[in-house]
Each structure stands twice: as structure tokens, then as C-alpha cells.
Amino acid sequence: MHIHFLDPYHAGRSPIHQLDPRVKLVLAVAFILTASLLPFGAWPSYILLLALILSIELLTEMGIAYFLKRAFLALPFMLAALPLIFTVQGTPLATFTLGAWTFTISVEGVERVASIAFKSWVSVQMAIVLASTTSFPQLLAAMRALRIPKLLVAIFGLMWRYIFVLADEALRLLRARAARSGARRDAPYKTGGTLAWRARVTGGMAGSLLVRSFERGDRIYAAMAARGYDGETRTLPLPALQTWHWLVLGAGLIIYILIWLVGALIV
């Protein structure tokens, strides 16, 4: 089966790969919900969450480093919480002046930002585990089995499909530009023009990419409609959950509840 280079799914035979997609989806969403509901500064619960996600990553047989490197995608979102260091009232930690403004860093603000950063980091790791061990068609089938609205599932499916359409069109444009571009390795000569010229060319390519993506999207939808597509992709129903699936699901939810209770009682 052909796998697109943007698809994060990696086939495998690990226990996590073989787990039913419905169970994985419920446990992943419950994990992220548990992390988001934990109070700020509940570090014992945070350590338990980290130990849990690292254990799951070991079970995937893909290596912890694979997930840790990709979890840095959460870094830009963590930076959005950085102003809380100065805006949250509490015990002053440091004060500095910048022109006419005086900024005070509070202990509570640092704790809140660190808590948000940690919870975002482990949540992204769980999302990467889910996407890496479950193919997207399986995820869509799990969403339908869990009675998520059909329209929402269809939007997810089309969004995923058209991401690859957009990427393919961008690669075609870059390939066409490379085929029509020359390069000289002589020292005094340079290819291309000024920065403004390069910006104009890039803008033209972006506009062409948008138009070509719309046109190809229309062709794809027309082909789908000609084959009977009416807003829902029909697949064979998933098999019934086995006893061990229910045991894994119940055990996971109990662990999440216990971790949340530890955080609620400590803080």
C-alpha cells in the first residue's frame, strides 16, 4: 500500500498497533482531557502522566526519541502562555524595567506557564502516538463507530485528503521551477534576482498553488460524486470489541481518574 510521505502512520506489530482504534481514540482523548483538567502545579500527577506516556511509547516499539523530537511541535503554542509570567499576581520573583514599563515575574506565573507547557507537551506526545500507530481510515471508522456526527467525520476525512492534494500541487510547482531554472557555479555570478524579485515570484507561485488546488479539488469532488459519494464514506463495520479490549479501556480510564484525583487532592 502506498503511504504518502506526509502521513505519520507507521505500520507495526506492537501491542499499541494491534489495539482496536476505538479503544485507542477514547483513551487518547481521555488522556488529553485528564491533562487539561489537572490543576496548575500538580507535579506528582504530571510525573505520573509522563511515566504513563513514556511507557506507551516504549510499547509502540518505535523508540521514545521518535516521539520526543516531534513533540516539540507544541513549542510555538507554549510561547503563547509566556505573558502569564508577568500578568499572574503572586510572590515576586524578579523585577526589571524596560523603558517606561516595569515587569514583575511572579512565582505563581512561572508555575502556571511551566504547567501549561508540560501539559501541552505530554498531550502532543499522546496525539503523535495515536497518529503514528493508527491509520487515518481506521480513525475515521472509529469516529463513526463512536457516533461522532457524520458531517464532522466527513469534514475530517476531506481535510486530510486535501492536505495531500495541496502538498502534491506544491511539489509540482517546485519541480517545474527547478526544471526551468539554471544555475552557474562561477564565483562572480549569482542566480535569481533581488529580494523583492524573489518575493514577487514566491507570491505568484502561492497564487498559482491556490488556483491549481481549487481546480484539482473540484475535479476530485466531481470524480467522487460520479462514483456515488453523498457526504459519507461507507466502509465495513468494525468487529465487536473483545473482552481484553474492554479490560484495557476500563483500566486506562481508571488510571486517568486516579491521576486526576492525586492532582486534585494535592493542590
**pLDDT, mean over the chain:** 84
Q: Which three cell numbers stand for residue 208?
A: 498559482
Angle in degrees, 0-180, between the axes of helices 43-59 and 243-266, rounded to the nearest 10: 160
pTM: 0.80
Among 1, 10, 5, CA closest to 131: 10
| 24 close to 248: Cβ distance less than 8 angstroms | no
What pLDDT, in 10s, does the model give residues 197-245? 777 878 888 888 888 878 888 888 888 889 888 777 777 788 888 999 9
Residue at 83: amino acid letter: P
Q: What is the pLDDT of residue 1?
A: 40
| 172 close to 216: Cβ distance less than 8 angstroms | no
Helices H, strands E: what count in the chain? Answer: 11, 2
| 57 close to 64: Cβ distance less than 8 angstroms | yes
SS3 at position 23: helix
Element (H, E) at 223: helix 195-226
What pLDDT, in 10s, does the model give residues 102-158? 778 888 888 888 999 899 999 999 999 999 999 888 898 899 888 888 888 888 888
Rounded Cα distance between 95 and 108, Å, is: 14
